[in-house]
Structure 1
C-alpha cells in the first residue's frame, strides 16, 4: 500500500512531521527499505518548510529508523531502516552519563537480560548459531590483546550469545545496556593491576560459558553468566561515587 501524505499543523512543526511519519509506519504504509519522497516533494505535501522536515529526519536518523544520503544517484535521499542497536546504546549511554540511571540499576538489568539469553541459548541455539561467539573467543585469547580491543570483543561475545537465543529484542537490549557502560568498563580494564591475568580470568569464564551453552546446561550457564557479570561489573558498582546517587535522585 502506498504511503499517503497530508499537511500537518504548524505548531511544533518537526514533531508533527515525526508523528505523521510514525503513523505511516504503524499503519504499515512505510516499511523497512522504503524511500521517502524527495524533500522538495515531501515538504509541500506535508505543508511544512524544508528546514522543519530536515529537523524531523535528523531525529529519525538519530534513533535508528532512517538513513539519509545527500547528493544524487540511486542511494540519495532518506530510507526507512531497522537499526536499533547503535541508537539505543547511544541514548542509554547518554542518559547514564546524565545520571538518569544508577550503575547498580544497569548491573541488575544486565543480570536479568543475560541470565535469560544464556539460558535460552543453551536450550535452543543450534551449533552453527554459536560459531560467531566461538570465533570471538579465539580473538579474545590472542596474545598481546589490549584492553580497548578486549572490551569491544567482550561486548560482541555477549551480544552474539544473546542473538543466538533467538530473541532479537533481548539481544538489542543486551547490546544497549552493555554499550551504556562500555567507557566505564574500559577504564576499569585499563586500570587493572595485572592486565594479562585479568584478561585470562575473564576468558576462562567466557570459555566455560560457551561450553555450558553448547552442552545445553541452561541453569548452569545462567548462573555462571550472573557470576561473570557481578564479578567484574560488580566492582564498578562498589566503586561508584556516592554523590552520583544523590545527583540522580535530585533530578527526579
Structure 2
C-alpha cells in the first residue's frame, strides 16, 4: 500500500496547472514507487529530476502550461477611402485601435482581409479587416476560421449597431444578425451557427426620415468623434479582459456605469 504521505504529495503535484518549478524533499523510496512515477500521473510534468541521500530525495518538478489557443478578432466595414471614417466602419476602427495599442502590424493581405498576428498578454491573436465589402464579410471570416481551425468560441466580431445609443458598447456571447448584412454573411459562412462572441458599437438611429443606408455612410462630427474615441478605449480594455479573464468579467466591465466615468 502506498503511504499516505505519498498519496498527498501526488495529489498536490497533479493538481498544479500553472507553469512552475518546485523542489520537494520526499523519502527516497517514493521516487522508486511505480505509482508515483507512472506515465499517467507524470504526463503533465516536463521534467522530474531527483537527487538522493541515504534517507531522503530532493525532487525538482517543472510543470508546463498548455499553450493558449489563438483568438480571431474581426472588425466589419467597407474598404477604400470613400468609406473611411463612416459609421458603418466603426468595426474597422476598433480593430485599428487594438492593433496600434498592442503593436500588431496589419500590413499583409490574406484571406481577402487586411491581416495581422500578435498577442494580447499571453494570448495569441489574429486581427482581420475583411476587404470584401460589408455584405460579403463572411467570405473572408469563414476562410480564416476554416484554415486555422479556430473554434467559434474563440472568435470576436466587432460591428456597428443602429439599435444602440451612439458610442455605447454591448458585448454578447451569441445572437442573430439583427438585420446587419455583414453579420448575416458571417453567420451564413459559419453554416448558420450564431455561437460566437460579438462586440456591438452603437451608432444611433438616423434622424427624421433619413434612409438608413445613407445614414451608415455618414461621417462623424467633432463631438461624435471625441465620444467615439473614448468608446474605442473602453472597447480595447474590454477585449483585453475578455481574452485574459473571460467573458463574464468583460461584459460586466462594458455594462458598468463606473467604466464610462473612469474614461471620461
Q: Give the alignment's TM-score, normalised by structure 1.
A: 0.28
* Higher alpha-carbon Rg: 2
Q: Which has the higher contact order (CA 8 A, sep 6+)?
A: 1
Give TM-score scaled by structure 2 length. Answer: 0.27
Q: Which has the higher strand share?
A: 2
